[in-house]
């Protein structure tokens, strides 16, 4: 009596949390035929909020990749197929016998929608289709499964071991990370291993580990081979500064000497080429999320904008006083504006709200979750400081610094990008004065801050030069009238000019 063995395991795109329903494939870390281990990162995907590395919960040989780079997949759709058999053939079918060919009953065909729904149920039950850090709840079972596959494949797969080991080393070099565990399904004894196997394994074991997608992308964009970079991070991890140093060294080597520059002939003028039409750039990832949210804001929210010029000299003096107090945390102007906005929302709670269009109701929040716009390499993101009304000015400054660093490194967790009730946007860093900012849907208001410049100003009846900025305030006219919006903006302006006013609410 024989028992059919399941040769293929289909891994679907896992639920990435925070209501995300799809993700776009950015880069595959493995190819068909590569050997993978449990929790090995196999693909990098980009959601509307972050870039995420997805590990596979199975060990074995990659049989199919269900999508190319640039493909958008919905949660629950097939992502990768892993099995203990031979890699898929040219027609996409796995080589070697399937379960029904070995005498076992074939698996019933399941519609895509039903399969996706079953996937979600299995994920909640701990099926393994989750990201590293969330856990599958079946650690011991996974270990036993790996040992059974290794024992079953030791005999018939011994002749294919050298090629499998070389493919595994190649996959490890592409991903920049090597798992120290032996790949399941390709383990052979030392006496059966070919001479090239140990060499390939030794080479792969010394490949530096580049965990951050930003670091790998930087290396790829500048043509830096990570195998030649000396890691300075813990456990041999390649950090951003390591790649930057490698780029600098490569630039020095590439710089020609003065004599060589003089001997190099000037390039011949190029003939103008015929235009091939405009370049078409797909809206993907963060860019698409921003486009969708701003379009929805303009479509649904009847917004209005008001603005005022303010003398920020007093605020700058308050900033210097706080710095000299030795708080241990750098307090920037954005932190002071955050403190002022929180105080203003306490006085004008109508603006700390949203509109439920289906029920035709205004939802007014007691807590203030303050978002702030941050420009990153991936585009514009809005990290959120939760319960900002409970934080001191020093704590606000610390949270701003922490979330900004995470945003620039592409490491913001999805929950840090949702749930805001009000947004602060300091576009003055781009050297501009004013704007008509678009409200961050579904919020009801947004304050924009322009650059600080020296301007003539009348103070105490005398013409003098002061530090002046322009404040722009956009608000949803459904939640309040102009009197409330004007009152909020005037309160913010007064606090900028005379920060001592904030003491009234302490």
- So which residues are the catalytic ones? 477
Q: 3-state secondary structure string, 47-75?
A: CCCCEEEEEECCCEEEEEECCCCCCEEEC
What are the b/e assignments for 369-398, b being 16+ CB within 10 Å? bbbbbbebebeebbbbbeebbebebbebbb
DSSP 203-214: HHHTSPB---HH
What's phi and psi for 224, nearest 5 deg?
-90, 125
What are 120's strand-pairing partners?
none
Nearest residue to 185 via CA among 59, 70, 269: 59
In 3-state terms, what secondary structure has residue 376?
strand
Angle in degrees, CA 21, 27, 30, rounded to 5: 110
In 3-state terms, what secondary structure has residue 467?
strand
Asked whether 377 and 389 are in contact (CB, 8 A), the reply is: no
Q: For residue 167, with 0-12 CB atoms within 10 Å meaning exposed, 13-18 middle and 19 or more buried, which class applies?
A: buried
How many CB atoms sit inside 10 A of residue 109's CB? 6
For the record, the structure tokens of 412 come out as 């913001």
């Amino acid at each position: 009596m024989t028992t059919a063995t399941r040769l293929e395991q289909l891994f679907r795109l896992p639920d990435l949390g925070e209501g995300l329903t799809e993700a776009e494939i950015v880069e595959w870390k493995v190819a068909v035929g590569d050997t993978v281990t449990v929790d090995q990162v196999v693909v990098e995907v980009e959601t509307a909020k972050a870039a995420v590395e997805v590990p596979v919960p199975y060990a074995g040989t990659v049989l199919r990749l269900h999508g190319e780079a640039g493909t958008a997949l919905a949660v629950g759709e097939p992502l990768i197929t892993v099995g203990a058999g031979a890699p898929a053939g040219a027609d996409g079918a796995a080589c070697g016998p399937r379960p029904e060919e070995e005498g076992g009953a074939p698996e019933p065909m399941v519609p895509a929608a039903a399969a996706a729904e079953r996937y979600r149920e299995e994920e909640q039950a701990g099926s393994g289709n989750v990201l590293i850090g969330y856990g599958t709840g079946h650690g011991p079972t996974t270990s036993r499964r790996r040992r059974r596959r290794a024992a079953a494949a030791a005999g018939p797969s011994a002749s294919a071991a050298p090629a499998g080991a070389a493919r595994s080393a190649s996959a490890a070099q592409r991903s920049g990370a090597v798992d120290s565990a032996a790949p399941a399904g390709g383990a052979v004894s030392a006496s059966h291993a070919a001479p090239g196997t140990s060499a390939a394994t030794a080479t792969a074991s010394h490949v530096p580990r580049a965990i951050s997608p930003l670091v790998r992308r930087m290396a790829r964009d500048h043509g830096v081979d990570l195998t030649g970079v000396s890691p300075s991070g813990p456990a041999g991890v390649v950090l951003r500064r390591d790649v930057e140093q490698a780029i600098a060294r490569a630039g020095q080597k590439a710089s020609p000497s003065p004599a060589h520059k003089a001997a190099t002939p000037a390039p011949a003028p190029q003939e103008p080429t015929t235009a091939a039409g405009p370049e078409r750039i797909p809206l993907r990832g963060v860019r698409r999320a921003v486009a969708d949210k701003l379009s929805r804001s303009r479509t649904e929210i009847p917004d209005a904008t008001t603005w005022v010029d303010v003398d920020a000299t007093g605020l700058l003096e308050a900033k210097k006083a706080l710095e000299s107090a030795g708080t241990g945390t750098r307090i920037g102007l954005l932190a002071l504006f955050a403190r002022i906005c929180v105080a203003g929302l306490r006085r004008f709670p109508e603006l700390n709200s949203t509109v439920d269009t289906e029920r035709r109701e205004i939802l007014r929040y007691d807590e203030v979750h303050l978002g702030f716009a941050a420009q990153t390499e991936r585009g514009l993101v809005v990290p959120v400081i939760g319960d900002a009304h409970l934080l001191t000015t020093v704590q606000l400054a610390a949270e701003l610094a922490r979330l900004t660093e995470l945003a620039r490194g592409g490491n913001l967790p999805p929950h840090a990008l949702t749930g805001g009730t009000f947004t602060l946007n300091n576009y003055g860093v781009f050297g501009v004065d004013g704007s008509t900012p678009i409200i961050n849907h579904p919020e009801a208001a947004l304050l924009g801050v322009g650059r600080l410049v020296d301007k003539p100003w009348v103070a105490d009846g005398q013409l003098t030069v002061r530090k002046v900025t322009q404040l722009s305030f956009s608000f949803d006219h459904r939640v309040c009238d102009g009197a409330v919006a004007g009152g909020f903006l005037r309160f913010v302006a007064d606090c900028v000019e005379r920060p001592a006013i904030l003491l009234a609410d302490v």
